[in-house]
Structure 1
Amino acid sequence: MRIKELHIRNIASIEKGDIDFENGLRDAISGEVAPLFLISGDTGAGKTVLLDCIAMALYKKTPRLDGVTNVTRNEYVNTEGETLRVASIEQYTRLGISERDECYSEVVFEGNDGSTYRARLSLGMQRGRKQLKHRPAKWTVKKDGDDWTAGTTEVAHVIQRAVGLTFEQFGRMAMLAQGQFASFLIGGKAEREAILEQLTNTERFSLYGVAIKSLFDKANAAYKQTQAEYDTEKTHILEPKEKEALRERRAQLASEQKELDTRIRLNEERVALVDTIEKSREASKAAQEELARLDAIVNGESYKADWAFIHTWDSTTAQRQTLVQLREAREKRENALRKEPAYRETFDRLSADLAQREADIRSLSDEIERSRRWFEERKEWEPIYGKSGEIIQKICQYENYAKEIETLAEQITAETARTAEWKAAVAEATEAARQAYRAVSSKQEEIDALSQKRTEMDPVRINRELDSANKRHTRLEQLWQTLSGIEEDTAEVARLDEAIQQQEQELSTLHTTRIQAEAARQSARERDEKANNLLHTMRTSLEEYLVVLRKRLIAEKADTCPLCGQPIERISLDKDFEVALTPLEKEKKATGAALAHANAVYEEASRKENTASGILRTQKEARTKQDHKIALARAKALDTARELGLDTERPLPPQASAALDSTGEIIARLKARQKEAEDLQTRVNRLLEEKKPLETHKNAAERNKAEADKRLAANEQRILQFRAQKEKDERTSADLVAEISSIVGRSLPGWEKDTTGTKETISQGANEYANHQKELDTATLRLEKAQAATRTIRNTRDKILQSHADWNAPISPEIYACEDINEAWTHLFAKVDATMRTIHECAQKITDSVSALNAYYATSGMTEAALETLIARENELAEARRRVNDIQAHRTSRRDAIADARKRIEEASLKLGIADERETPDLQLLREEKAALSQARDQLLSQIASIDGKLEEDRRNEERFRQIAARLEATRKNYDKWDRLNKRFGGTRFRTLVQSYILRPLLNNANIYLARITDRYKLTCSEENEQLSILVLDRYNKDQVRSATVLSGGERFMISLALSLALSSLNRPDMNVDILFIDEGFGTLDEKSLDSVMSTLERLQEIAGQNGRRVGVISHREELDERIPVQIRVVKKGEGRSRVEFSGIALPSQAPHA
């Protein structure tokens, strides 16, 4: 991704800013794109706002807002009464703007696909009911020449695909924010883990760890739950014997049910047959009575009259239909004839409208011919009017170029006057720089002389020899301590031997005591068991005997117990024979106490023996360890003595003492020489301090000279640029004059003398020409439509006259008011045509009907009046027909009912085996028998259902038990699997493991940058780095390792910068941003450290493959103004407003051409 341009309008404090990162930030001397540029300005001017604007245009959020916590409930109310969230992007709207002011941030960038994109976030104010309020943010993006895309989801998708980075990735790849790594260096483990998670995309490993822990918890819960179900379900399964007994009982009940079902079925059959006989007898008697009543009705006069009416009606169906059709045809023809006059009137009015339309067409044709003659008269102006807008635009360009040429001439004159002033300033700065250089060189010669003397002393060799002597002295001291320790350990061995002998004697005595106590305990146990057995036997025998005896007395209905004389119901077994058992219980109590005492004596003897044995074992182990320790110490002492050059055949303590004294003298001499070298270095350092102000003066003089050279070069460059631009504008102006004259020269000669009048003449003429053209087009279209409509109407009128020729008569033109004249003619034609067809059809139908009816009257003797009377009684026909049909149907139904009843009685009697109806069984007795049998069967079915329910429940329980057992095995295996994974990777373990592997290569990469900044420090970490700690190796203090928390602010900044650059250089090609913005604390650095940091940034492209990458530094330190010539300055204008200016950049004509 390449950031090309940034455009800002009223965002935060910046009122307006347009930055061309691609072509605008070029060095004024070389004209090349500056690899390093500075973003400077006073505190609060809005330097960091530039980074916020880039972020908000690309991601609709900024690093500052992204760090706000408790976003949902963190709000405030502004002075206008509007409630805003602390994390809302609308806060970036500049205070004090109106609803008409623009407010947006727009970034132009080249995506990974090579296309150019524009991402814009628009803010602003809008007018509410009573006051101004913030307008909701609008986020849009467009690609090359495509339309703008809106919608948060759609815009985010387009930008993510083009940039290839999320907001967090972009923040750490392109923007190194203030203090981002300071907390990482000195924070706790949790803080480092959170930062590393954001910087290295290891949050997914956190999610993996949480997921593994969650799955383990679920597996554990499932395993415990299934185990509980398994234990519970196991108790619900019946024993095999219980199930077998239930099955046998069910088989017995099923056999009894089958027998009852047979008896019930036979009873139900007899009940049904007897019931059928009785019901059939009643039905036969009722049918015979109803049949006699219906026969009497059939022989009456009313029935006969109905039958004659129906017969006559059915025989005249065709004649009645013909008579009805004749009446309808006559009436329909009369109605059609009555409509003809109205149709004639409508025809005449429509014909008058047609005559009027034809007259209008002739008038419109004359108007079109006049317009065409007007255009013919102005034919020579047509090319000018056709391009009027383009011609007027070119005349305006000609006027603008004339003004610009005049302005450039004035600028050239002003810049030429300043050239002598800049040349004098260059000469003065050159002389000052030469004098400052001589002063610095003189001081450097003194420093070099002292440094040479110190070098001849070879302090490195002195330090090496002193270090070697110190190491020998330390080893000699260690040898002396080892020899002293051997003497002490030998004395300790002798003491242990004496203590072991005494302990062995004491252990033998305690062992004998324990054997005696064990024998006494065994004897007491045997006596106690014998007494206990006797008491238990007596107690059990008495209880069992008395229980049996009492049951027998109760069974024989005795009143008094023969043993104690008490009533049977008041016998108490526990109290009656308590006296008989008392001697045995006392004996059992005594033996129990004796056994407890014997156990206590034995346990005490065993404890003392075990304690003595443990002490002896400990003493022997200590003796063995002491021997081993002495052997190792002697071997170590001999090895050390040989390494130190001592004679191992002679006693070592005297030799070690003498060597210590000799080494001490050597160390004293070397320290004296070291002190001398350090004094020389102190003098050199003092001279270096004296040299610093001289170098500062020299650097200032060189910068003044460079600035004067740069200003002179810029002055000359501006003169060249203005001249080149003036020549270019003059050529362009001449081309415009020639081009415009070729078009308007014939019609408007001398147009350039009055360009304003020329533009007005062309504009007015073009407008008039366009208006006439529009009127002509409108009239032509109206004529074509009118002619087409008239042709259609004329055709319809001719069709109507074909059937009504007498309607064609002269008529005066007149408009006919209607919505659609064609629809009116079509509707009239349809009605006239339909009416004529109706008249012809009705005449033919009248003739045919009259002929058919006359023939019927002649043959049947029926008159038209009789037929009319019959038709008039049509409403009586249905009722008469219903009465006749109902009577006949009822007679047939009653005869069939009598026959069916007799048949059912015969069939039932045959099945019952009776020949005489008087032998029919009693129906009530049969029903009582059926009720008793059904009750018995229901009881059997209830018992069978109960047994089936128990067996079915047991079957389901067994099936559930098998399923639960299978699930238990599966959940146990799943639990074991997730238990192993959770112990290795659950919770934060996975993320910490991954981050510990990422940290070391990151530190190695950071050390490449850190070595360019300072040679003192190197970053490292421990092998087992569970705390993710970063340690600092200090080369100036014998490579000692220490924590970053003790470093100064400047040292921490240098290390933080190295870490930042290391991380940003690890990007893939598709995850790169061409500019790295650094917004760190340069204010914590001293001048020397700042110089090292700036040198590293200037050579960033040469380090670790940072080819083609540029760096933007955000700072207000004045030293950076001198080191970084290309600058973007954010300048305060007052009232909370700032503007963006540029310094040290090349003018457009200075850019090198490809």
Structure 2
Amino acid sequence: MRIKAFGPFADEVVIDFDELGADGLFLLHGQTGAGKTTVLDAVAFALYGRVPGARDTTRRLRSDHAASDQAPEVELEATIGSRRLRITRTPEYERPKKRGEGMRKINATASLAWLDGSGPDLTRIPDVGEAVVRLLGMSADQFFQVVLLPQGDFARFLRAHPDEREALLEKLFDTERFGDIEDWLRDRARESATRLSEHAAAVERVAGQIVAISGVPAPAEADFEWAQGCLDAAREAAERTGAELTAAQAAAEQAEAAHRDALRAEDLRRRGVQARDRLAQLEEGAETLAEADRARRLALRAAPIAHLADDHDRLTAEVAEKTVAADRAREALAELAEGRPLCESDCDDATLVAAVDRWTEESGRWEPLARRVAERPRTVADIDELEEAIAAAEREAAGIRELLDAAPARREEAVTALREAEELRAQAPRLRAERDATRRILQAFDDRDQVLDQLAKAERDLLDAREKHTAAREHQLDLRERRLAGMASELARGLVDGEPCVVCGSPDHPAPAAGDEEQVGEADEKRAAADEQAASAIRSIAESEVIALKERRANLDAVVGDADRVATKAELDRLAADLAAAERAAARTPTLREAVERIDAEIDGRRSALADLDSAQSARRERLSGLRESLSALDAEVAEATGGRIGVDERRRELAELCARARRLREARRDAEQARRRLDEVADRLATACAEAGFATVEDVRAALVPPAQIQAWERMLEDAATLRAASEETLADPEVREVLEAPAVDVERLAADLAAARSRRDEAAQRNAVAVQRRTDLDRYVADFWNVLDALAPIQERHAELSGLADLVGGRGQNSRRMSLRSYVLAARLDEVLVAASGRLREMSSGRYEFVHSDTAAVRGRRRGLGIEVRDEYTGAVRPTSTLSGGETFFASLALALGLADVVSAESGGRVLDTIFIDEGFGTLDPEALDLVMGVLDDLRSGGRVVGVVSHVDELRARIPSQLHVVRRENGSTLRVQSPLGVS
């Protein structure tokens, strides 16, 4: 495993567990807070991306000792299920932003590489997690419980409340399917109860409908005979009301026929009377109809002539208007001096056309000169612009000459500053080398003080280690001498009467040697030898550390030499100040060089600009002289052409106005003549039309005219009168109408009253019959429904009783005498397996005194859980609660339970567990004898092929376990030191 910037480990550290666990057992020790548990956290984080216990909630896995840009990382290479893989993970952390201030959040990453080529590499965190769970066959919580036996969690499972123990067991063992069975049966029972309730409600609902329809109250338990009786009574009532309805319908039909005949006779009488009245009214209005007919005919003859009269009036007004317009056009032309002679004479169109042609020709002759006059303002503006440009160029040239005069002094100043900066820059390498050498000497002073402190402590540790090794060596020699001295009694204990002695071969043993009670055996001698080897290893480590520190002190002495610390510090400050000045000068050198080059380029540019200004100025003066000459020539030509009276543009506008007024006069005369011709034509047509229509004058035509709406009204009135006359005469000619008018009137009201009474009797009978028929129909349906729901209710009741009993049984209710749910029962069975597996180790660690007992004591209100744990004390034969155990007894009981739990979980998950397990702390509560027993159990685990890593700071374990991983705490982060039978690294 490789760890970097993780927890207390700032620098990269590497752990080879193959080398460390070569003999099956190793110790992970160090000072409190050094990072022992972090090594286990790194294993857990590499596999599952999280760490055990409450430490996972803080999520602060990055080392505070690491550089700010250093990324935390854990890499684990392992073999799981015969597949070799490498997992690399980085946790979520924050680092400073590369640009700007503040921190940037970096997300967690993970990758998995198959070193044996057994699959594609993975880079997504979920994919890596699924692959690890699939290979190990266990979740993170299971792994933490069976591989990383956590610090402080040994006794938690042992002394947990049954509820807490049940929650933990559910995490470790897959009981979800049994819980699913409980839920499934409970849901089925709930659904069955709902279905039963629905069917019972349906029976009650149908019975209620029968009661509501029939009006017969239901018995205590409604049955089919009661429902059938209600249906028979409804059928008899429907037949009786049907007969009554038939008789009432016949009587109503007779009354309707009599009333219908009376209404027809009354209608014929009314039509005859109305026809006689309309004929009388038409005779009274005959004169009015005749007058309307005459006015209609006159209006129809006058209508075609109306538009000719309107045209005559319109054209008369138009002739007057055109004549006035022609007079105004003549007056407008006469207002101009050159047009007045034309207006005073009676000029015709030919004279006006000739005058317009003459004026147009004269305007055309002035057009070229007009264009030149139009361009005169632009010429004047160009002259003014050139004069301003010449003045501005002269001012710019004067400014450039002033800058050129001052440039040589500025360049000399910049060259001097550049020379001084280059001299300082050349001194920077020498000053930097002197500063670094002085800094190393000053650092050596501090390192030597630290090494001297460490050397003094290491020499004390070495003296203590030598004393302990000497004591262990003397104890080993003493035990060996005592064993040799008691060898005769040891051999005598192995003599058996009748069997030859292993020394002399005699079958007789007359005087066997007798030893004392404290006889030393082979096991004692081996234990003393192991203690001596452990003490020797510690002594070797201490000697190596002293030698290394002395070499370090000698190297630092050589670096310091005869230097003085205060003088060295002052010299370092001076060199740092000189170097900073030289580096600043070096940084300024390119800028100063660019300044000199920029001044040279500026001088050349200004000289070139001054030459360009002189050339442009000559061109401007030459163009200004040409424009002035051209303007003087134009003014002389205009004065000559116009005689000085008006300008060219004014004369052209005057000629254009003469032409326009002459044209308007021609057009006004032409329009007036055309209007007079149209008026004469319309007058002739109007006179002819009046004569043909029979009108003497136009006024007679206008008097006969009426609006079209009035004509249409007269026509409708005449048509309506003719229609009424024909209809009335046709009605009076009908024989039935004549017969009714001659017969006496019928009493319609009496016949209507008889019809209403008959209909009322028929409606009442129909209503009674409809109610009876509907009751019979509804009862037919509801009685059939009642029979169906009664048939379906019985099997549903039986099914519900069966499901309810099963749900109560698996849920710890009903006939379940143990009051245990199915899931609790399964967990109790798993716990029983765990206690069987743990009792063997507990008996071994307690010298046969204790074993676990599975308790089935009833809980509150008689509920049984089956998850209690107690211990049997073989010394007294009593079964005791686990809370009565002492601290040391609680530790090895908890350890035995944890190991047993690990075995059962391993078997449950298919037996795929890492060959290495870790046990974190707790050994400090054991006395030497108990520690020997616990170490014996760990030896059994080791002999079974597993590697056991013990995390502890107990000194006794350092002597017992040669392979060690020492976590060394330092101010700048922890480091690792590996001690194995192969050596120290």
Normalising by structure 1, we get a TM-score of 0.42
Larger radius of gyration: 2
Normalising by structure 2, we get a TM-score of 0.48
